[in-house]
Amino acid sequence: MILASLFIDALRYIPDHASLLLEKAAETAELAFTALGIALVVAVPLGLWLGHRHRGLTFALGTSSIGRALPTIAVIGVFIAWLGVGFWNVTTALVILAIPPLLTNAYFAVDGVDRDAVEAARGMGLRERQILARVELPLGLPLLLAGIRIAAVFVIATATIAGIAGMERGGLGQIIADPVTYTFPGVLAAAFCVAAIALLTALVLALAQHAASRRMAPRA
Amino acid sequence: MSGWRAADGGPVIPNFGHGTACLRNNHWFCPSWVREHWSDILQPALLQHIYLLLISVSIGFAISFALALVAFRFRWLGPTFGALGDFLYCLPSIALFTILLPITGITVTTIVIPLIAYTLFVIYPNILAGLRGVPPEVLESARGMGLTRRQTFWRVELPLAVPAIMAGLRVATVSTIAIATIAAFVIHYGLGAPIFDALEQPDFRTELVAGGALAILLALGADALLALLQRALTPWSRIR
């Protein structure tokens, strides 16, 4: 009963406070996509290169399991020493969160490409970098995009931690962490907005993944 | 740290302990403080965290197993469960803890329900994928040996699904340990409690690092234990 009325109140809260939610959603999206962008630039080339050399499996798996175990709030606490509580602190913690799934998926995307295809490319005289860019990357693209999708959902949902870290302009997390000011329906409404951003992002990436795997499927 | 807390169990006087030089200068890690407060702060928090972990993962596993069996039997339910799980996973954990607070109160239940929900998202698809991944020729030979449907499930399909199931269980365990630290924002319980206390007074580094390190060590230890369990459960995978 309580849940049902809470749910209805949350749905009413969204149109009533549309401008607040939009403003906060933009802040959350800015945090999450900045972190995701940095993590992509750091982790994907490294993972692709390690996968191409078929080396560093333990490194890729090790970072992934330690990364999953890191309590994000403790990471933010550690970086307070250098960055204070603010945009770059939360972004750094989110980058650290996003790197492991990106690194492992980039590794396995390239590592799992058919060795015969790579050998054939080498036989045709392609250089290592060309093999990576023209053979392995296109063939491994669906798996890489799957990794990006997982990391994106993870980062968007966790970006709300800015709210408990007490960041100014902390996005939807501020609403979620403060039911006294924003009421419980407000908290639930903000959570729905986070889920909407995450699901939309996941949908776009899933469509890209679908397109990539169709393009790469052998033609009949 | 600012923000709202339902259960503020944190000490009023900062628990810096006795003022050694290490503590006064707020170094990253003061072993003396850890020794002194192991029994009154760190050990209880660790035990609470293990308690949360055991309840959430075992209940989560039982529910996942039941859901996977149903979805394995009635294939059309698979995508429905999957979509529900995806939506749940997109909701931020802090919101779930906060929303449950007026309903289940300041109890362990409030922490455990969202943790169970997150384990479902990881364990359920792995069990289902493991069961569905059994090669048709293996099922064919099981039928050829005269096994009934039930015998095939318990003796062939389930054992062959163990590696996938264990992989899901390991990911769920490690992520549950990390997510459970967030719960301390709402209810002062588990390893998140020393972490949030440390952030509140303000930024007491030793307690922060000790709480965070214990969470990571617990996760790595639990992961290693499950890896050993997987080896024990699949003796055939070692004979090559």
pLDDT, tens digit (0-9, with 9 covering 90-100), for B14-38? 555 556 777 777 777 888 888 888 8
Cβ burial, residue B36 (10 Å; 0-12/13-18/19+): middle
**Pair B24, B14: CB distance under 8 Å:** no
A71 vs B199: CB contact, 8 Å cut-off? no
**Pair A73, B182: CB distance under 8 Å:** yes
**Pair B87, A195: CB distance under 8 Å:** yes
* b (16+ CB within 10 A) / e for A155-169: bbbbbbbbbbbbbee
User: Residue B4: what pLDDT?
Assistant: 41
Q: Residue B12 has which token pair?
A: 């009023």
Q: Taking CB atoms and an 8 Å cutoff, what residues of chain B touch A188?
A: 95, 99
Other beta carbons less than 10 A from residue B216's beta carbon: 18
Which CATH number belongs to the domain containing residue A137 in this structure?
A: 1.10.3720.10
Closest CB to B99: pick one of A158, A163, A188.
Answer: A188
Query: C-alpha B163: how far from its chain's center?
Result: 18
B90 vs A202: CB contact, 8 Å cut-off? yes
Q: Residue B106 has which token pair?
A: 């300041």
Split at pLDDT 50, 70, 90, the class of B53 is very high
Q: How far apart are CA A6 and CA A13, in angstroms?
A: 10
User: Residue A42: what pLDDT?
Assistant: 93
Q: Taking CB atoms and an 8 Å cutoff, what residues of chain A touch B3?
A: 163-164, 166, 177-178
Q: Residue A167 has which token pair?
A: 């960041």
Other beta carbons less than 10 A from residue A130's beta carbon: 13
**Domain range for A148:** 2-216
Q: How far apart are CA A196 and CA B53, in angstroms?
A: 29
Q: How far apart are CA A193 and CA A19, in angstroms?
A: 12
Residue found by looking up tokens 């750091």 in the block? A42
Q: Amino acid letter at B232?
A: A
Q: Which of B234, B116, B105, B115 is nearest to B167 (CA)?
A: B234
**Pair A136, A148: CB distance under 8 Å:** no
The answer, for B205 touching chain A at a CB cutoff of 8 Å, is yes
SS3 label, residue A169: coil
**pLDDT higher than 70, residue B164:** yes
User: Residue B112: what pLDDT?
Assistant: 94
Q: Taking CB atoms and an 8 Å cutoff, what residues of chain B touch A161?
A: 94, 182
Dump pLDDT digits (tens) for B172-218: 999 899 999 999 988 999 998 998 888 887 777 888 888 888 999 99
Q: Taking CB atoms and an 8 Å cutoff, what residues of chain B touch A187?
A: 95, 98-99
Q: Which residues of chain A have pLDDT under 70?
A: 216-220
Q: How far apart are CA A133 and CA A152, in angstroms?
A: 23
Q: What is the CA radius of gyration of chain A?
A: 20
Total domains, chain A: 1
Q: Which of B196, B191, B198 is nearest to B213 (CA)?
A: B191
Q: Which of A126, A117, A129, A103 is nearest to A50 (CA)?
A: A103
A173 vs B182: CB contact, 8 Å cut-off? no
Task: Delineate the domains of chain B, giving CATH numbers in brackets.
Answer: 36-234 (1.10.3720.10)
Report yes or no on whether pTM surpasses 0.90. no
